[in-house]
Structures are given as C-alpha cells and as structure tokens.
Amino acid sequence: MGLTRQYLRYGPAALFGLVGSAKGNVAFLALRGERGRYVAVPACEHVFVWDTRKGEKVVILKGLKQEVSCLCPSPDGLHLAVGYEDGSIRVFSLLSGEVNITFNGHKAAVTAMQYDHLGGRLVSGSKDTDIIVWDVINESGLYRLRGHKDAVTQVLLLKEKNLLVTSGKDTLVKWWDLDTQHCFKTLVGHRTEVWGMALISEEKRLVTGSADSELRVWDITYIQEVKDPDEPESKKSKGSSPGAQENTEEDETLELDEHPEERLVKCSKVGSIMREGRDRVVTLATDRTGKFLACHGTGAVLEVFSVLSEEEIRKKLEKKMKKAKKKAKQNSEEEPEKSVELSLQEEIKRLTNIRASSKIKSFDLFLSPKGELKIVLLLQNNIIESYNLNLAAQVPQAVHASKITIGGHRSDVRTLAFSSDNIAILSAAAESVKVWNRATLQCIRTMDCEYALCSLFVPGDRQVIVGTKTGKLQLYDLASGSLTETLNAHDGAVWSIALSPDQRGFVTGGADKCVKFWEFELVKDESSTQKRLSMKHVRVLQLDEDVLCVRYSPNQKLLAVSLLDCTVKVFYVDTLKFFLSLYGHKLPVLCMDISYDGTLIATGSADRNVKIWGLDFGDCHRSLFAHDDSVMYLQFVAKSHLFFTAGKDSKIKQWDADKFEHIQTLEGHHKEVWCLALSPNGDYVVSASHDKSLRLWERTREPLVLEEEREMEREAEYEESVAKEEQPVVAGETQGETGLAGKKTIETIKAAERIMEAIELYREEMAKLKEHKAICKAAGKEVPFPVNPILRAYGNVTPSAYVLEVFKKVKSSELEESLLVLPFSYVPDLLRLFNEYIHLGSEIELLCRALLFLLKIHFGQITGNHMLVTVIENLKKTTISRVSEARDVLGFNMAGLQYLKREIEAKDEVTFFADATDRFEEKRRKRKKKEKMILAVV
C-alpha cells in the first residue's frame, strides 16, 4: 500500500517568552569560575541558566516532557540535580550541559532534594510521601524510606552524623538513622503542615516554618554513648559518686530508658521567632554557611535574619555580664549577680525585609567573599530579581541589583499574530505588547497596553492593532514603539478582530452585541508634516447576543459571526442581510475559521467539539470530539483544508477537514493553551499558554503516516500504564519502613528482556558447541564451526562473554529492578556464569552487587535447589577471595595517593586543598582586625 495522502509532521522548534516557571525553585550556580552571578531556574520542562549581571540566557538544560519541580546544585558546583513532575530525577553536568544520570523511583512530583556535604549521596522527597537515598557515584538507588503520610516538603542531611531530618505536610518532622535505615524520632509540635525547615548554628539548631507566623526553633543535642554498655548504669553511678550526683544520673538513665529514641539525639523546643507575615511559610532556607536565614510567605516580602556564631554569642554575653555587674555595683554591693542569658531574638537577629515587585515563589542566598549577601528571587509573574545586602553597614539595606524581565510577559498571553513576511510574531497580554523576531526569538519591541484580547498586523507590517477588554482599539507604530491612537470601539470587551481580504479595513466584534466595520485612512498629524495611519468607523451590524468571534470569507462576500447563544450567523458583507445560521453546538462557539477557497467553515466550541460545515448550504459535514476541555482557538493552514485547534486540555491538534481525520497532536504545554497563530506560508505555528510560555512549532520535511502515528500513540499509552502498575498485594504483609529505591519502568523491562535474550543465545550456542564436538569426534577431524552473527558483530566473543557485555550495558540505576523482573528459570544459568566471571576476576563490583541481590530475592528457591549447591559453594570461595583482592588494591592505591600528596607538599612546602583555603581565610580575618584597630585609633 502506498501513501494515500501525505502529511508533513510539525515538530517543536523553540520555547520562548518565559523567564522562569514558578513551580520549582531558583538556585545559584558556580559557573565559569564565578559564584553568585549565574542562577538556574525551571522553565517548563527545561532549566534555564541566566547571567544576572547581563540579563542573558547562558545555558539551556533540555528536559523531556515533564515539568521541572525541584533543583539542587551539587556541593562541587559541577552538577545540577533536577527533579520532575513525574518523579524522575536527572543529574546534568554543567560543563557539557548533558544528562549524566537518570534516577526513576518516585511515583509523583519531586518536592525536595539535598546532596550530602561530599556530593556522593542525594536524598529526594516527593509528593508520593517517600524519601529515597541515591548513590550518585554508583548511579543507583540505595533505599526508600517510608513513614510520612503526606507530601514531603523538605529533606536535610546532617554533616557530622549519618542522620536525615525530613518534614512533611502531615505536620511531622522525622529523624532517620541512615545506618540502620529507620525513623527513630518524630517531632509532633506542629498543628499544621510543616512547609519549611533549616539547620543553623553548626547543626545544633533546627528552625521549622508552618502555616502560622511563628518560626519554631529546636535545640539539637547529640548524645555521646561513652559508657560501657555491659555495666548496669545505676550501679556504676552508685559506686562512683556522692548522693546528689547519683540521683541525677539515675534520673538520666531512667529517662533514657523511657525514651529509647533519645539515645542518638535530643531535640527540644527553645522558642519561636515571630515573622511579620501572617500567612504560611512558602520557603525557609539558609545560605551555604548557615549564617543567614531567610523566609517568605505567599506575599511579596522576604524576611532575612542573621544567626550569631558561638564566638559572637560569647562576646555579647560578656558585654551583658559587665553591664549586669555595673548595675549590681550601683544598686548595692551585696546584691548577688543575676544569671545572664541571651534571648532567642538576640541570637537570631532580624536584618531586613525585602519587598519584591510581585509575589515571591522561591529564593536563594549566597554570601560572597567580599562579605556581601546576594539574594535572588523568582517571582510569580515571570521575573527574576536580585538584591545585594551590604552587611558592613550599621543598618543593612537591600540594594536592587538587577531584574530579568525582557524575556517574557508578566501575565498570560491572550492573543498572537504573525506578520505577512513570516518573520515577526506579535504577542499581547494584560500589560504589554511584545514583538519577537521568529528566527532569533529575541524580543524586538515592548509597548505598554491595556488588557489585550485580540490583535493583528496592519498590511505592510509597520503598525499593529490591539483590541482590549475595556472596548478600546489601540494602534501602535512598530518603528518608534509608540502608541499612536486609541479609539473607544465597543462598550464591552473587543473579543475578535479580522482583517478584510482586500486589506483596506477590518471588522471587530464585541460584548456590546455589535459588529463594527473599520477602514484604514491616512490623516494629517498636527505635530508633523507627514501623514499617519488611522482607523475610520464605517458601519455597524447590531445583533441580539454578545459577539465572540468574527471571520470574513476569502472573497469578502460573507461574514461569519459567532454569538453567545451557541449559534454562528452568516451575513452578506455588502448588504448585511442574513444568509445562514449554523446551530448544533451545545455551548458557545469560541473560535472559527473559513478555508482559503471559501467552501468550508470550521467552528470550535466550549462543548469540546469541532464542527465542519459547508458554507454554501450551511450543512454540517462532521462533528469531531476534539479536546478534553474547551476548544480555545482554531485556524486553517494556508492553501489547504488542514486546520489546527488549541484546547484548554493543554494540547494542540491538527485535523484534515476533507477526510475528518485527526493527524497529529503537538504536546508541550503544561497548562491551558489560550491562542495560536499560523504563519502565512504555513511553515510555523506559535502558541501561548497559561504556563506563561510561548512555543514555536515548525513544519518539517518528514512525512507523517497516520497508521504509524496511531501505533506510536498506543505504544506511549502502554509505556505509561507499565509505570503506573502497582506492586502485587500479599495478604497479611505490611509495608516496611524501608524498600527498594527503584520502580518498574519500560526501561527496566527492556533491560530484563535483553538479559533473557542473551542467556537464551548462550544456551543455544553451548548446545551447538556440544553438537559440533560430537560431529568432530565422529568425523575424526576438525569441522569448521559456524559463528553466530551477533557474536561476530561483538568481535567473535564467546557466548559467556556476550552475556557479560549485555549485563554491563544495563544502567546502574536500573539493575535491581531489571533483575526483579527476570524469571527464576534464567537465574541458575546466571549464577553459573557469575561463577565463571568472578573466577576470571572481571567486573567484580557489578557482579557481586547483582549476585547478592539475586540471593536476597530468590533465597528460598536457590537454597532448595540441589543442582545449585555446588555452584553456590564455588561462588562463596571465589567471591570472598576476589573481593578481598579488590579491597587490597583499593587500599594500596589510597596509600599511594596519600604518599604522593605528602611528597608534593614537602617539595613545594605548600598545604593541599582544604587546609590552604582555611589558612588564607584566617590570614584575611587577622588583616581585617588590624585594619579595624588602626581605624579605631585614627
């Protein structure tokens, strides 16, 4: 069968008009050797890296389909972990911009992530209530921690101890011991959701923020278990101490036994710091040093606090003591000294409040080496603002440093238009009109406007007209970027505007039940000698209902008008006499278009249907169920009967009006699509959505076959359903606190299939080899052995080596899940092969990991199988010897590296890495002190 009708595929070309999505968080990055200059922000499915100084986009980390929900830079500044709405995590290299690792474990959006201080582990929390610890170096999941009953809001790893603190919307703060992987303590001091959490004062304090205006502060004390565990504590204390001490120790012992969870950590509430905001905390975080704490609610104010260090606290206490002594002396000599304490408000001091230009969605802090605090804010209206806080000043004031706004609108784009030369794109929103260059995607002009609803380029592409919500028509000149004329056209909103085919005028439809006809005219300007373009009202068509959409037929004989009563009325243009009424939609028709030859009219309605009508008799050719929500925009491709529709279901679809076929779906937007525009040559589609992004789609030269397209859709559906499959429920089994980190995906199933195929090939080849030996024996000479083409492609490897190659190609993060899917019938062969490989000493680490996992999941069947007893015995011997060999090699290498480090240090008389920076900091501190002293003396 040949191609019956050839369609060309439209593909995504670009995403623009977006500065940053408010769904994820903003983060400072160390890029090109600079910290505090570059920031990463989520931008729908991508991550944009902006240079705050120049206001330029530097890097785009490209995502797949899902929206970004969380960002976390690694401690070394070389990588960025990105969490997505579907629960996947991808780690990007900032040097190359490529994806290094992909982790699949969560079933819902990733809400919080944190690296440990070395960058070897990554902890992620999600809306599915689970917390997963990932091994970044081995690229695999370590374990899953279950315990929260609602979405996890924050995860914090402690530097000193192997402990993890997590908070959730279930009002709980949980402490996890990562050595034993269990929750040993739960803080229940919150009445509402815990939205944010931060560690301060060198991890001796925990600050939590919830839905009220107080930040609760908790003291953390780590209990050192020094006592001998065998000896009963009460006896020991009796034998060793006088009465008073004995009692206290006994009390402590009893307390410890009553609260076994306090064996590791004691966490007690110290007090609260009051915020100025009355709403819930949205983000609460510290800078990297932990010296500064900041938080914001749902409003536009960021509150910044300074946390005093132990040294500063000691100095303050000394001052207080001196004052108290003075007072005591003045009052009376005998009065005993009162104990002097610092209040919490003095230890955590409010620095300043920063008021942003709009609601804040997230922020990040960075303390520059110059002692300046840099603050970057991601706002809800598509803006990134950065502030500098000079800490040396007596009263620190935030100075507005930069603002990135030019790359997008503040609100949703409600109308789009293409210029006649296919080069310029016009987009208009509630506050501004922007003109973009299609090729470079740069914003060429920005002009203030009222709330725009419809727009068009005046023929000649030198002016644009915008229809507004207040009923005005605004005419802009593009060369000067100025508003040249404003006319009060309608008493209600101007819902639709259409250029007449002869290009001499246009027609508008409004909420005042009128359709008005306008003509372009040149008028003399008082201020200059030249004439300028203006608009003249020619005639009006009064109707019974609000007008939602107007369209001319290409020969300019007919005018179609869609009304609020769900009908479309067609009138003659010259006499304004009624010609046809198209009725059949259950809800109002929001958009429509007439084909280039004037034979068809397609209407899209809020009832989710698209109807295709003949324009000669007004008969309905076909009704198509187009979208899962209202159809917002519809337009025919130039010189064809193909048309595009945009829906509130965030999809854009292409249809064939002759065959009534759905051709393709353009998926990309994450929220409602408000409008779209096709270029006059039909090569480009541009669309605007509630996710604040504009997307450009380009017609490729790739032919599209409908059967293949449907097949691809079915495959995608199947792949989605695989990921959503639940684990089988076993009666009487309860889920433990820990579990496997990974989840079943289409990738893990494919990997398992590849392993199975390799083992089957191995079995066949071994059988063939046996046969071949028998034939050779019978013939009494060497007969040529046919080599399997797959093995030949791998360079004539042995069948067992081929299985190892396949095994090595399974992604580290998918290994466990792939082995979990593997049927047991393949396991005996695998174990025999493992024995062979380990004996040869190849891939010890990978094989041991797989071997231990297989033993764990198939323990009963393996131990019950007599055939495998000898295999397991052999494995035990070889594995232990090989692993100890590998350990020795590692130990030797480590010792060698440390020896080299000592040699280099001795030779150059310089200290290495960390020590050097510490000493440098110390020197600088001393120098600053000296300068201060000199200044004081002067």
| pLDDT tens profile 131-160 | 999 999 988 889 999 999 999 999 999 988
d(CA 73, CA 96): 15
* Residue 802 and residue 792 in contact, taking contact as beta carbons nearer than 8 Å: no
pLDDT band at 227 (very low <50, low <70, confident <90, very high): very low
pLDDT, average across residues 184-213:
90
The mean pLDDT of 575-589, rounded to a whole number, is 91
Task: Give per-residue pLDDT as tens, 476-488.
Answer: 999 988 999 999 9
Say if residue 935 is exposed, middle or buried (CB neighbours under 10 Å; 0-12, 13-18, 19+). exposed
**Rounded (to 5) percent helix, strand, coil in the chain:** 25, 40, 35
| Percent of all residues in the chain with a pLDDT value above 90, rounded to a whole number | 46
Residue 871 clears pLDDT 80, i.e. is over it = yes
Per-residue model confidence as pLDDT tens digits over 264-306: 788 888 888 998 888 899 999 999 888 899 999 999 999 999 9
Residue 333 pLDDT: 58
Average pLDDT of the residues of the chain: 86
Please check the confidence at residue 467 and state whether its pLDDT lies above 90.
Answer: yes
Q: What is the pLDDT of residue 259?
A: 58
pLDDT at residue 342 tops 80: no
Predicted confidence at residue 448, as pLDDT, reads 92
Task: Kindly state the average pLDDT of the residues 88-105.
Answer: 91
- When pLDDT is averaged across residues 747-768 and rounded to a whole number, the result is 88
Q: For residue 38, what are the β-bridge partners?
A: 29, 51
The percent of residues in the chain predicted with pLDDT above 70, rounded, is 91
Q: Which of 793, 814, 801 is nearest to 843 (CA)?
A: 801
Task: Give the three-class secondary structure for 254.
Answer: helix
- Asked whether residue 605 carries a pLDDT value surpassing 80, the answer given is yes
Rounded distance between C-alpha atoms, residue 759 and residue 763, angstroms: 6
CB 794 within 8 A of CB 838: no
Check whether 3 has a pLDDT greater than 80.
no
Q: What mean pLDDT is predicted for residues 91-103?
A: 91
Residue owning tokens 């065959």? 659
Give tens-digit pLDDT for 560-576.
999 999 999 999 999 99
Tell me, what's the pLDDT at 912? 59
| Six token digits for residue 120 | 């070897």
pTM of the model: 0.84
Contact between 418 and 499 (Cβ < 8 Å): no
Query: At 164, is the pLDDT very low, low, confident or very high (cuts 50, 70, 90)?
Result: very high
How far is 427 from 454, CA to CA, in rounded Å? Answer: 10
Backbone angles phi, psi at 340, to 5 degrees: -100, 130
Q: What pLDDT does 90 receive?
A: 94
CA dihedral in degrees (547, 549, 553, 557; nearest 10)?
10
Does residue 239 surpass a pLDDT of 50?
no
Q: How many CA atoms lie within 13 A of 150 on its CB side?
A: 12
Mean pLDDT for 325-330 is 80
CB atoms near residue 129 (< 10 Å):
19
Asked if 86 and 99 touch (Cβ cutoff 8 Å), the reply is no
What pLDDT is attached to residue 5?
64
Residue 337, pLDDT > 60, answer no
Q: Per-residue pLDDT averaged across 913-928, rounded? A: 72
Compute the average pLDDT of residues 921-934.
74
CB 187 within 8 A of CB 155: no
10 Å Cβ neighbour count for 232? Answer: 10
Backbone phi, psi, residue 666, to 5°: -100, 105
Whole-number Å distance between alpha carbons of 721 and 712:
14
Residue 245 has pLDDT above 60, yes or no: no
Mean pLDDT calculated for residue range 741-749: 81
If you write DSSP's letter for every residue of 223-239 in order, what string do you get? PP--S-SSS-HHHHHHH
Q: What integer pLDDT is reported at residue 1 of this predicted model?
A: 39
* Whether the predicted pLDDT of 312 surpasses 50: yes
647: Cα within 13 Å, side-chain hemisphere: 24
Query: At residue 429, does pLDDT exceed 90?
Result: yes
Tokens of 873: 């015995």
pLDDT at position 891 is 94
Instruction: Report whether pLDDT(243) > 50.
Output: no
When mean pLDDT is compared across 65-69, 305-309, 862-866, the lowest value belongs to: 862-866
Pick from 780, 777, 800, 797: nearest CA to 789 = 797
Average pLDDT value for residue range 855-874:
84
Q: How confident is the model at residue 423 (pLDDT cuts 50, 70, 90)?
A: very high
Q: What per-residue confidence (pLDDT) applies to 938?
A: 56
Q: Which two tokens stand for residue 49?
A: 């890296």
Whose tokens are 């669309």? That residue is 687
Find, among 274, 277, 313, the residue nearest to 296 by Cα. Answer: 277
CA–CA dist 561, 509 (Å, integer): 8
pLDDT for position 247: 40
- CA distances to 509, 659, 754, 884 from 91, rounded to whole Å, are 51, 46, 25, 32
Element (H, E) at 804: helix 799-809
**What is the per-residue pLDDT across 440-462, written as a single tens digit (0 to 9) for each?**
989 998 999 999 999 999 999 89
Query: pLDDT value at position 554?
Result: 92
